[in-house]
Amino acid sequence: MTTDALTIARRTLLAPAELEDRHLQQVIGTILSAPVDLADIYLQFARSESWVLEDGIVKQGHHSIERGFGIRAVCGDKTGFAYSDVIALDTLREAAANVRAIARHPGNHRQAIPCPNRPKTLYPAVDPLHSLTNEDKIALLRRLDELARRSDPRVEQVIVSLAGTYEIVLIATQDGALHADIRPLVRLNVSVILHADGRRERGSAGGGGRTDYRYFLEENRAETYVDEALHQARVNLEAREAPAGTMTVVLGAGWPGVLLHEAVGHGLEGDFNRKGTSAFSGRIGQRVASPLCTVVDDGSLPGRRGSLHIDDEGTPTGHTVLIENGILKGYLQDLQNARLMNAAPTGNGRRESYAYPPLPRMTNTYMLAGDHTPEEIIASVDRGLYAKNFGGGQVDITSGKFVFSASEAYWIENGRISHPVKGATLIGNGPDVLTRVSLVGNDLALDPGVGTCGKDGQSVPVGVGQPTLRVDGLTVGGTHL
Amino acid sequence: MEIAAQLKALEDKVAQALEQAKKLGATGAEAGAGIGWGLSVSARMGEVETMEHHRDQSVAVTVYFGQRKGSASTTDLSHASLRETVEAACVIAKHANEDPYAGLPDPDHLAREIPDLDLYHPWPLSAEEAIETAIACEKVALQYHREIVNSEGASVHTHQGVRVLGNTLGFLHGYPASRHSVSCAVVGERDGQMQRDYWYTVARDPEELESPESVGRKAAERTIARLGARSLTTRQCPVIFAAEVATGLIGHFLAAVRGGNLYRRASFLVDSLGKQVFPEFVHIHEEPHIPKGIGSAPYDNEGVATYPHDLIHQGTVASYILDSYSARKLGMTTTGNAGGVHNVLVDPGSLDRSGLLREMGTGLLVTELMGHGINLVTGDYSRGAAGFWVENGEIQHPVEEITIAGNLKDMFRNLVGIGRDVDRRGNIRTGSIWLAEMTVAGD
């Protein structure tokens, strides 16, 4: 994997500018002549495309090429960063001179802890844009549109989008190492609007991962997204007002794991904890969840949207236990924060592109399975909400308050699903929501590959997952008292 | 390079792209090119934390082969990459389906006179000066109160750039613009509870920025005010959206009357033109030509002339927000809003914030919203909130971990008052907005 990737990366990123490995090391060398702890150059090429079908026709497509480099010097807790869309020796040198200035400001130095290498192929070094012909991409979109319209006469609008990215990264680090990774990423999304008796409701579903477009043709995956989108819209056409107040909530398996991403994941990122601004700061070894809960972040799952061979600083990704049987175990680290906290980097240093410096970020975050069937969990609730699927979420790291929005939900009465209710926002407190988890399902599922996480204006693809969970007390933001 | 030279260079790139599109058989094409550069620094706990130098460039091209459309963009302005990008757009257009509504704007709508909106005011700030400014800003926040115990830092951003737009109808114009900001976020602690809040200032002209000291002080004031926050019991009550979050509420209205959502029937305001949506006293208008305005633009992303016009007149919808495509789909005329709105102003009322609180008497003042619980198709609204509980017109205590819910149709119709405490920083300018009733969920 690595040799191939390195060859492709050199050919794509260095050769056109007549650059060689030694030039990158020379540039890094000019930074290292100042007293810095870390210096690296991140070169990136990304070719992306998207095709959108609407009103039954493929109306538009977009193609984009991004190419550039980011260069960084870290001195204790200080970072100098510069980037350019022009990969050339003079722009590299100019950027290096700019970032080197950070070293004039003395930082707090700590000792680094080296991290072992773990090469293993998680996804193929393919260009997904070429995995189907343009004709076949369009035929796929049209087939899904027809399927949706045929399946329900109430369909008023269908929007299907197909997107793919072929990304090549090359990272030169201060120890002379050169890391490369080829990162394919595809995504298919189906959104429908159903209209009946003057009421309109939307449903949407999709998936993808680090693979090529043929993934959507296997196991009728694309068709299942259509079914799922229609199902959601149908349920919402029947939905009554959502309840308001604090109640028992059963959360579905899979994408509802966005709960973990917001409630605990962000709060465990190294930067916030190094600075002491997280509601989880200084709580390693303490109980932050019920003994039923074990939460991990794993960037080394094959083919997942949040997976990476190496993070954007060249550290291999891995399996990091965040919470084990309810006890807080660890944080997610990039190189800078690991160094400052005397911890090992965990392969979580990620960046949106060369134009942004790396930050500690999640990869695929999920909770391990428990013993109960989802049916048992629903049957255990007298009155409460079953939130089967979700939209996005958000968290205030410092106060610990987080929200996430149900997109498909049902009212539970006497242990049975009574009727669908409208989507609503749920709000809770990160450090104690998991202490109220009283039942954990045996149906762990990861999301279908749709997540994008935002932090400091940077978006990165992520995964989440969980089994069905019962939470005894979460505030549901409906309108019905 | 001088601005004039930058403009000329970008005009050449755009002309090159258009020329090549024609050569490849396109019947029409549009291209935009931009270059920008800037500096971002942040300071935390009295020392520099990050120093970032920015330099961006990009070209985007849209081509038409009859009624077929394709688009492509690149950050690589080399001749080869530009050619590859135009080719990619053409390949896509050849594969796309015929769309009877696709095409360049009507030539009559293109901007002819390009007003100078005074948008370019570079801030000749060295990295050292920017760091000193950030440190000074944070220092005021850190020293504001002993309960300010930590900081996420203060930042200074400067950005300036040039953008050029051209199409095969002969439109080719460009102008420089700048944007600068100073922000600060600090953490307070009381009885083991931590709270964070922030403040920022943004302007085209650095002379118009709020002072760094004022930004730091407001960030600290807001943070201290949140300490001791607790939840509320579930209830229905009046809600005032503070000006800085009321902009979001107006944003939902704008999204609901945007052409793309209307022709897709994906809005709770379909077929609302001429209909009463707000009470009669509400007046919302777009003013694209305000000198130095953050949202100001002489023409939109298609080159269509922008012009001042009403969106809500006496509470009724006076205009949708349309680009050429959505206008054709709806059988209407573009409103010069390709790419979005340009300075939306909500006419203020007579009361300041404390006056509004007094008038409301008892209810919730919301100063922060969380999450994305807005369903534009149905108007259903449910979001996490933080703010203050108000009784007898006076703030009683900060609140958190609650949600507020309702339906935007009802919320707009039951708007009781608008404050004169207008937040002028963004593209949407409004005072605080008082709504008759929402459902608050909490303990």
Query: Mutate which of A13, A36, A65 to test chain B, going by most B C-beta atoms within 10 A?
Result: A65
B382 vs A424: CB contact, 8 Å cut-off?
yes
A246 vs B264: CB contact, 8 Å cut-off?
no
* B193 and B252 co-located in one domain: no
Q: What is the pLDDT of residue B2?
A: 87
Domain boundary among B208, B226, B244: B226
Q: Could you state, in chain order, the average pLDDT of each consecutive group of 10 residues for chain B (443 residues)?
A: 91 97 98 96 96 92 97 92 95 95 97 96 95 98 98 97 98 98 98 96 98 98 98 98 98 98 96 98 98 98 98 98 98 98 98 97 98 95 98 98 98 98 97 98 95
Number of structural domains chain B divides into: 2
Domain boundary among B199, B226, B253: B226
Q: What is the pLDDT of residue A298?
A: 98
* B176 and B278 co-located in one domain: no
Q: Where are the beta strands (DSSP E) in A106-210?
A: 155-173, 178-196, 199-209
Q: Where are the beta strands (DSSP E) in B87-171?
A: 148-167
Q: What is the pLDDT of residue A194?
A: 97
Domain boundary among B204, B226, B248: B226
* B51 and B200 co-located in one domain: yes
Q: Which residue of A lies nearest to B68 if distances are taken between CA atoms? A: A59
Chain B environment of A401 (Cβ under 8 Å): 370, 384, 386, 400-401
Q: What is the pLDDT of residue A18?
A: 96
**Could you give the ipTM of this predicted complex?**
0.93
Q: What Rg do the C-alpha atoms of chain A give, in angstroms?
A: 24
Phi, psi of A277 (to 5 degrees): -105, 0
Q: Which residue of B lies nearest to A75 if distances are taken between CA atoms? A: B49
* B89 and B128 co-located in one domain: yes
- Please report the DSSP string for B10-51 in residue order: HHHHHHHHHHHHHHTT-SEEEEEEEEEEEEEEEEETTEEEEE
* B146 and B185 co-located in one domain: yes
pLDDT > 90 in chain A, percent: 91
A66 near B CB under 8 A: yes
Q: What is the pLDDT of residue A57?
A: 94
Whose structure tokens read 């002028």?
A: B424
Query: Mutate which of A12, A399, A429 to test chain B, going by most B C-beta atoms within 10 A?
Result: A399
A244 vs B91: CB contact, 8 Å cut-off?
no
**Residue B373 carries which side chain, given as an amino acid letter?**
G
Domain that holds residue B84: 3-226
Which tokens go with A133? 């012909």
Per the CB < 8 A criterion, the answer to whether B125 and B207 are in contact is no
| Total-model pTM | 0.95
A478 vs B382: CB contact, 8 Å cut-off?
yes
Closest chain B C-alpha to A129 CA, distance in angstroms: 12
Rounded alpha-carbon distances, angstroms, from residue A100 to A22, B172, B361 = 19, 40, 57
**Residue A379 carries which side chain, given as an amino acid letter?**
A
Above 60 in pLDDT, residue A221? yes
Rounded alpha-carbon distances, angstroms, from residue A320 to A77, A294, A462 = 24, 11, 15
A58 vs B386: CB contact, 8 Å cut-off?
no
A405 vs B371: CB contact, 8 Å cut-off?
yes
> What mean pLDDT is reported for chain A?
94
B377 near A CB under 8 A: yes
* B248 and B195 co-located in one domain: no
* B222 and B262 co-located in one domain: no
Contacting A residues, span 183-212, partner chain B, CB-CB under 8 Å: 193, 195, 199-202
A358 near B CB under 8 A: no
Compute the distance between CA of residue A96 and CA of residue A31 in angstroms, rounded to an integer.
Answer: 6
- Please report the DSSP string for A330-397 in residue order: --B--HHHHHHTT----S-EE-SSTTS--EE--SEEEE---SB-HHHHHHT-SEEEEEEEEEEEEE-T
Q: Which of A67, A68, A423 shows the shortest C-beta gap to B373? A: A423
Per the CB < 8 A criterion, the answer to whether B212 and B337 are in contact is no
* B45 and B119 co-located in one domain: yes
* B210 and B319 co-located in one domain: no
* B243 and B203 co-located in one domain: no
HSE-up (13 A, CA, CB side) for residue A238? 12
Query: pLDDT (tens digit, 9 = 90+) per residue, A239-293?
Result: 999 999 999 999 999 999 999 999 999 999 999 999 999 999 999 999 999 999 9
Chain A environment of B85 (Cβ under 8 Å): 63, 65
Query: pLDDT (tens digit, 9 = 90+) per residue, A116-168?
Result: 445 689 999 999 999 999 999 999 999 999 999 999 999 999 999 999 999 99
Per the CB < 8 A criterion, the answer to whether B166 and B203 are in contact is no
Domain CATH number, residue B52: 3.30.2290.10
* B148 and B287 co-located in one domain: no
* B200 and B306 co-located in one domain: no
